[in-house]
Structure 1
Amino acid sequence: MTGRPPAALRLARIVLVAADPDCLASFYREALGFTAAEAPPASDLPGAWAQVVPLRLGDQRLDLVAASPPGRPYPGDVPGFSPLFQHCAIIVSDMAAAHARLSAHPGWRPISTGGPVRLPETSGGVTAFKFRDPEGHPLELLAFPPDATPAAWRRTAPGGPFLGLDHSAISVAETARSVAFYESLGLRVASRSLNTGPEQARLDAVPDPTVEVTGLGFPDGRPPHVELLCYRGDLPRPASDLAVNDVAATRLAIAMRDADAVATACAAHAGRLVSGRTVPRSGGGAEALLRDPDGHLVWLTVNRPADDARP
């Protein structure tokens, strides 16, 4: 036994590519309760960013970035089973109040039909509502039943019903293949469910869905985590052709134990490296940008000691 911490420590932030980060940030602040966050050092950012607008909701971070050169806009109403689909789930303490505040602001579009949906107990018993922000990124409002609220969300927020980011969910073609990839980085399966029925159809706007939902957690058990969404059936799943500067090219920024852990991940997935190599950073840091088996972008990063506080 070495006593070394696991390779993957936490989901440090979620990074959304935006055509106009300032305008989109106004929507996130006014409609969803986000606040401004401290900007990360330029050396901690992957790729060439023209602009970074860092946001915070509770203890979680969301960065809105403009790529240089800019890429393609979000490609329309991508369904939940598409390899392009990736949403951020926002925990709310009061779904009616959260939905009302969202509804008071223009620019967003619903995914769910008929408003918030209460899922059956077999699907977690949560109340949920999926929609798209003004640039097309999918989002979800999520409220737990009062008697089944995880400890991390048993609180209120002074700024309204929006508490924080619970997870980022990605659509995958094969659960086992994706679990193997993320477990190789240090994540572990924390939950599994099979969601189906008319409530799931309303939530996803997908006829007669059967969805394998697999939660992948980090060592400390704190949010946000990663969820895999695998829709069963013969569904059109064209290969992802995302470029790193496209608006749909969301990144999961995973803080790794050290540079050796990043190098090990890159060696294990050499064919998935976007940059083709691990990029060392000043002060002992490192980073690498990978594609998972379905094309979702995963940014592995090691903070310098001075930057190692939980975001």
Structure 2
Amino acid sequence: MALSAEAARSGWRIAAIGLSTGCVARLAAFYEAAFGCRPEGPALAGAAIRRLTGLPGQGTLQRLRLGAQAIELWAADPPGRPYPVDSRSCDLWFQHMAIVVADMRAAYAQLLRQPGWNPISVDGPQRLPASSGGVTAFKFRDPEGHPLELLEFPADRWPPAWRGAPGGPCLGIDHSAIAVSDSAASIAFYAALGFAVAGGSANAGPEQARLDGLPGAEATVTALRPAAAPPHLELLGYAPALRPRPRPVDLRETDLAATRLRLVPTGAPDDPAPGAARLLRDPDGHGLVLAGAPG
């Protein structure tokens, strides 16, 4: 979908991260136990799903909250295909959400008590060098294969948005990160939606390789920040030598690898006034839903 001139002039923010799931109740139970997510309102169906997300109305959608951020779990009826089992962190359908933790040891221990998930990172949480932000992080997949990250900032580098955040050990969602083939093209695309470059780093070395579960991992990380509170967006430009694979042309919204960001106009509530929610794709095929989009 092409943006209208009015839509392109509008600033947008991330209201929710949407996951396709085979079973809303089962995946919601994992997120509640592993991270402390809480259901928000009753499950939606039919026209309510179409109004909110632009997705087909069949199936069920349940919103969860983690801190101030929202996750939307949608199970189509019938459900789509499973997450590709050979997926890598550099493949262009890769998209994770990063969960900020107040205490990595406690958050990791809480995760270890839950069944069904699988690690991406090798040898547990990894402390990255100062040149890569000095964060401690751990990547893994939920029981359906969606990639996730636990993220702890250094004690002297906590971003203002997360200082004093209530709860714990998991506080909220800091960002969604997407693998991209051309960082410059993606920066230009998201700039039209009001996302500005807010920083970046070149991540490499043994710590990055262990974090990504990817030998020889090298990635240019670009943070794109809307003029609003978290979550923000990160672009992961992996080295061509890693041979990132493109998004499958037959990947459908019902398939479990079809993650979406639901955007609303800056200053609008998470559920804007009823209107046409529209789906578009960025240069690499990552899904975006413009809710409350002007014509």
Note whether the superposition's TM-score is higher than 0.5: yes
Q: How far did residue 9 of structure 1 move?
A: 2.9
Alignment pair present for 1:247 and 2:256 = yes
Q: Pick one of 93, 107, 110 that aligns with 2:102.
A: 93
Secondary structure of 1:181's aligned partner:
helix
- Measured against aligned partners, the alpha-carbon deviations of 1:98-145 in whole angstroms (never above 9, x if no partner) come to 000000111000000000000000000000000000000000000001
Secondary structure of 1:74's aligned partner:
coil
- Measured against aligned partners, the alpha-carbon deviations of 1:179-237 in whole angstroms (never above 9, x if no partner) come to 111112221111111111110011001111211000111112x1000100000132333
Cα 1:283/1:129, change in 2 over 3 Å: closer
Q: How far did residue 301 of structure 1 move?
A: 1.1
State the distance in 2 between where 1:257 and 1:6 align. 11
- Counting only pairs closer than 5 Å after superposition, residues 100-179 of structure 1 correspond to structure 2 as 100-158=109-167, 160-179=168-187
Letter in structure 2 aligned against 1:93: A
State the distance in 1 between where 2:14 and 2:159 align. 18
Q: How far did residue 303 of structure 1 move?
A: 7.8
- Counting only pairs closer than 5 Å after superposition, residues 230-245 of structure 1 correspond to structure 2 as 230-241=237-248, 242-245=251-254
Alignment pair present for 1:15 and 2:14 = no
Q: How far did residue 156 of structure 1 move?
A: 4.9
The equivalent of 2:291 in structure 1 is: 301
State the distance in 1 between where 2:293 and 2:287 align. 19
State the distance in 2 between where 1:132 and 1:284 align. 34
Q: Pick one of 32, 35, 58 that aligns with 1:32.
A: 35
Structure 2 alignment gaps of length 5 or more: 1-6
Mapped contact 2:90–2:245 kept (Cα < 8 A):
no
State the distance in 2 between where 1:237 and 1:103 align. 30
Mapped contact 2:61–2:73 kept (Cα < 8 A):
yes
Alignment pair present for 1:198 and 2:188 = no
State the distance in 2 between where 1:249 and 1:136 align. 11
Mapped contact 1:6–1:257 kept (Cα < 8 A):
no
State the distance in 2 between where 1:85 and 1:9 align. 22
Letter in structure 2 aligned against 1:53: Q
Mapped contact 1:6–1:219 kept (Cα < 8 A):
no
State the distance in 2 between where 1:36 and 1:30 align. 12
Q: How far did residue 284 of structure 1 move?
A: 5.8
Q: What is the percentage of aligned positions where both structures have the same residue?
A: 49
**Farther off after superposition, 99-108 or 201-210:** 201-210
Q: How far did residue 6 of structure 1 move?
A: 6.0
State the distance in 2 between where 1:113 and 1:174 align. 27
Please provide the CA RMSD for this pair: 2.1
Structure 1 alignment gaps of length 5 or more: 259-281, 305-311
Mapped contact 1:89–1:139 kept (Cα < 8 A):
yes
Higher relative contact order (CA 8 A, sep 6+): 2
Letter in structure 2 aligned against 1:100: A
Mapped contact 1:90–1:165 kept (Cα < 8 A):
yes
Q: How far did residue 157 of structure 1 move?
A: 3.3
Secondary structure of 2:166's aligned partner:
coil
State the distance in 2 between where 1:5 and 1:151 align. 29
Secondary structure of 1:146's aligned partner:
coil
Mapped contact 2:37–2:64 kept (Cα < 8 A):
yes
Letter in structure 2 aligned against 1:72: R
Alignment pair present for 1:286 and 2:293 = no
Mapped contact 2:179–2:236 kept (Cα < 8 A):
yes
Mapped contact 1:5–1:257 kept (Cα < 8 A):
no
Mapped contact 1:257–1:302 kept (Cα < 8 A):
no
Letter in structure 2 aligned against 1:251: R
- Report the TM-score, using the length of structure 1 for normalisation: 0.84
